[in-house]
Structure 1
Amino acid sequence: MTNLVVGLGMRYEKADNLLQLALELQAARSGLSLADIEEKFGVGRRTAMRMRDAAMRNFPQMEEVDTGERTKRWRLPSGTLDRLVAFTAEELAAIEGAINLFERDNREDEAAELTTLGAKLRALLKPDVARKVEPDLEALLEAEGLAMRPGPRPRIEISVVGDLRQAIKACVKVKLQYRNRKTKKVNERLVHPYGFLHGHRNYLVAFHENPKANFVVLFALPHIESLEVTDEPFTRQPDFSLDQFAARSFGLFQGESFKTVWKFAPEAADDAEEFIFHPSQQIERQPDGSLLVTLHAASDLEMAWHLYAWGDKVEVLEPKGLAEIVHGQRMSWGTTP
Structure 2
Amino acid sequence: MRHEKAHLLFRLALEMQGTREGLSLEEIGERCGVGRRTAMRLRDALLQTFPQMEETQGADRCKRWHLPKGTLNGLAGINADELAALDIAMRLMVEQNRPAEAETLRTLSGKLKAVMRPDAVRRIEPDLEATLEAEGLAMRPGPRPRIDPALVGELRTAIKACRKVTIRYYNRNTGKTKDRLVHPYGFLHGHRHYLVAWHENPKANDFALFSLPGIREVRLETASFARDAGFDLQAFAARSFGLFQEKPFDVVWRFAPEAATVAADFVFHPSQSLEWQKDGSLIVRFRAGSNLEMAWHLYSWGDKVEVLEPPALAALVNPGRRGWTALP
TM-score, normalising length: structure 2: 0.93
Match of 1:319 in 2: 310
Cα separation, partners in 2 of 1:331 and 1:246, compared to 1, 3 Å: farther
Question: Among residues 237, 243, 256, which one is paired with 2:228 in the alignment?
Answer: 237
Q: Please state if 1:21 is matched with 2:47.
A: no
Instruction: Select which of 76, 91, 100 maps to 1:100.
Output: 91
Q: TM-score, normalised by structure 1?
A: 0.91
* Residue matched to 2:214: 223
Q: Which amino acid aligns with 2:139?
A: M
Deviation at 1:44, TM superposition (A): 2.4
Give 1:83's aligned residue: 74
The residue aligned with 1:308 is 299
Superposed, 1:1-337 pairs within 5 Å as 14-65=5-56, 67=58, 70-328=61-319
Alignment CA distance shift 1:67-1:322 (3 Å): closer
| Cα distance in 2 for residues equivalent to 1:314 and 1:165 | 41
Is the CA contact 1:259–1:318 (under 8 Å) kept in the aligned structure 2?
A: yes
Across the two proteins, how many residue pairs are aligned to each other? Answer: 323
> 2:170 and 2:321 mapped to 1: Cα distance?
35
* Rounded Cα–Cα distance in structure 2 between residues aligned with 1:331 and 1:280: 29
- Please give the per-residue CA displacement for 1:133-191, whole angstroms capped at 9, x wherever unaligned: 21121112112122422122211121111110000000000001111222211111110
**Which stretch has the larger CA shift, 316-325 or 69-78?**
69-78
Over 3 Å counting, the alpha-carbon distance change for 1:317 and 1:71 in structure 2 is closer
User: Given that residues 308 and 331 in structure 1 are in contact (C-alpha distance below 8 angstroms), is that contact kept between their aligned partners in structure 2?
Assistant: no
Tell me how large the CA RMSD over aligned residues is: 1.9
Which AA in structure 2 matches 1:120? K
Distance 1:139 1:329, change over 3 A: farther
Deviation at 1:123, TM superposition (A): 2.1
Mapped to 2, the partners of 1:260 and 1:49 lie a distance apart of 43
Aligned partners of 1:62 and 1:77 also within 8 Å: yes
CA deviation vs aligned residue, 1:80-134 (integer Å, no higher than 9, x gap): 1112111122111111111111111111011100111111112233333323321
